[in-house]
Chain A
């Protein structure tokens, strides 16, 4: 008898605890994040998470969304595509988040994209490779992007858009005619930027005199740079990650190369620290410029919170999680499908990087302008706020 009583009591206690748990769960809306918090691009991932936490803090202070507080569930995906797939699945299957903010690494985006299509929980990320949101994208035919992955979104200009921008600037503003480039096919972000750059300058009737690649892990580019020196182009496009960009710049200067560097958005900090004065004279596009007066409010908030200046992906984290919360509010729901539908039709989302209008056909923003920045010595200066290139 005693035993039965005990069992009954225990089940009651468990039931109570369980409902308590359920009720506690109901009080928050979870948003999943998988970001690179260790290895290669960890600084970007860490910055993105800082930006994300800041906007969540602000929105929660103002009452949250749908009357509930927002809670972030954050995992490290270690710059690894397989790890990315693993933690995305975990966020969906175990943490049951209705939407995810993903790593900005294109190689990871390419791996997660088909999984997101299967698990049907939308991902918002900064993966610039077109194939992340439009899987059938053909490099030779960028005007016809093909079918869109309904569950993946990009919140910045894509690879082709960003490379058109700097190529357009080089042709129209810097009056360049001949180009060379140094990129790596092992990083889809770098590869797609290079392909977009080549496509644009050819369309504009300019010449690519030398296209050179390198392998993952290579840090010595002297052989390629020696050839480029002999070709003497007006501009040299170097669209890779920070360490490769910095080593290319340093070695080019050591070899006495005088060509103007054209960069990608990875030429921003910490390039100034890693490449130092070797980066002098380089032009590159960036999603934001801290010289933009309209960003002062955000920069001050960020500085007050973290005691440092925001870098590029601090802005990304703020915008991307803000975009997710906006979609939750708009759909008045925490169902992944409804949130996705809201995302696909989002127009005029006022992000810190500009007004975002999602193109429902590609899930990429339409016509975002970008500031053009320039290295003077080891200082980064803004030479143009909000540039947009000519069409072909």
Chain B
């Protein structure tokens, strides 16, 4: 492969991986605290993707305004989902399987709702930027992808700061080790969980907006987070840094392999790779080995 093609493929891979990383973190943060796979994250992504379309098309066409509004909406939807479908069963002390079932049901509900109501048309976002790419010699860097990458980076940085430096961040981290102990020590655990869902929702909102803007919206857009979920698994469920690394790795591997060995073989290669990796390191790239004490 010529070097500039290789370089371009790496760039493609990083930009794709940036989205996977964003999805992986949004997914992982809930797993971190409540220890279940939150598939309703795809619902947040779908709702905000449509919302972003309607805002930018009919209310105000501006990249940043739409971004902020969809992000906030995403956070709000995250909190609402928690209040409506997870809190009631958590207070009843339901088993984790029920959380999983509820999250899948919510995802399906959103998908079917959009399929039934908005499924018969296409929703391309208005064009925010005339020039869509920057040329550097023979290399082409897509503006939307670069923006996605920068935004993902900034958000993840901000999230790290919040988790490390603020009171609520410490409470979140404490809750991720064990939900019961901090609540015994006077931490308002309902609030902490709401905050976690707000953050996950914010990440989902950004993901939905960026996916919708880049690929146009359809009822199944939420299922695009599947790759992000895979990244979260490789990264070590719940390890946010691991999720980011795995997302970038997955995007890079996909870009390099797809063009060389074809997309079907790439999927086989990637899934076998994941299998081998998890055999060697069951806790994923960034996960910690811990023993659950009785």
Contact = CB atoms under 8 A, between A and B. Distances in A.
B and A form one assembly? yes
Interface of A: 37-40, 42-43, 45-46, 78, 185, 212-215, 217-220, 222-224, 226-227, 230, 242-243, 246-247, 250-251, 253-256, 270, 273-276
Contacts of B267: 215
Contacts, number: 104
A140 B236 CA distance: 46
B132 interface: yes
B88 to A, nearest CB: 30
Given A43-B120, A230-B5, A247-B215, A256 B133 contact: yes
Interface in B183-219: 214-216, 218-219
A270 B224 contact: no
B135 interface: yes
Q: How large is the interface on B (under 10, 10 to 19, 20 to 34, 35 or more residues)?
A: 35 or more
A38 B120 contact: yes
B124 A246 contact: yes
A212 B120 contact: no
Contacts of B122: 43, 242-243, 270, 273-274
B223 interface: yes
B113 to A, nearest CB: 10
Interface stretch (B172-180, B256-264, B274-282): B256-264
Contact of A254 (B120, B132, B223): B132
5 contacts: A213-B263, A223-B9, A242-B122, A243-B122, A255-B8
B40 interface: no
B132 A227 contact: no
B258 A224 contact: yes
Given A223-B12, A223-B255, A256-B140, A39 B262 contact: no
B105 interface: no
B229 to A, nearest CB: 13
A213 B120 contact: no
Contact of B216 (A38, A42, A222, A274): A274
A253 B224 contact: no
A40 B218 contact: yes
Contact of B119 (A39, A215, A251): A39
B142 A185 contact: no
A254 B142 contact: yes
Q: Which of B8, B116, B218, B223 has the largest count of A CB atoms less than 10 A from its CB? A: B8
A39 B219 contact: yes
A153 B133 CA distance: 46
Given A39-B219, A223-B258, 10 more contacts: A40-B119, A213-B263, A214-B258, A215-B263, A222-B16, A242-B122, A243-B122, A246-B216, A254-B142, A270-B122
B220 interface: yes
Q: Which of B8, B121, B223, B263 has the largest count of A CB atoms less than 10 A from its CB? A: B263
Contacts of B124: 246, 273-276
B216 A256 contact: no
Nearest to B141: A254
B276 to A, nearest CB: 21
Contacts of B214: 219
B167 to A, nearest CB: 40
B9 A215 contact: no
B23 interface: no
B4 to A, nearest CB: 9
Contacts of B218: 40, 243
Interface string B122-134: 1010010000110
Nearest to B254: A223
Nearest to A224: B259
Given A218-B263, A223-B255, A247-B216, A43 B135 contact: no
Nearest to A247: B215
8 A-B pairs closest in CB distance: A42-B120, A222-B12, A227-B259, A38-B119, A223-B258, A219-B215, A223-B255, A39-B115
B115 A38 contact: yes
A217 B224 contact: yes
Nearest to B126: A276
A34 to B, nearest CB: 16
Contacts of A222: 12, 15-16, 142, 255
B278 to A, nearest CB: 22
A273 B126 CA distance: 10
Interface in B96-121: 115-116, 119-121
Given A254-B132, A255-B133, A273-B124, A226 B119 contact: no
Given A78-B115, A215-B267, A243-B218, A226 B120 contact: no
A45 B120 CA distance: 8
Contact of B12 (A46, A185, A226, A250): A226
A40 to B, nearest CB: 7
A52 to B, nearest CB: 16
Interface in B132-158: 132-133, 135, 140, 142, 144
A323 B171 CA distance: 69
A240 to B, nearest CB: 13
B216 A243 contact: yes
Given A255-B133, A256-B135, A223 B259 contact: yes
Q: Which of B15, B115, B127, B216 has the largest count of A CB atoms less than 10 A from its CB? A: B216
A357 to B, nearest CB: 33
Interface string B8-22: 110011011000000
A381 to B, nearest CB: 21
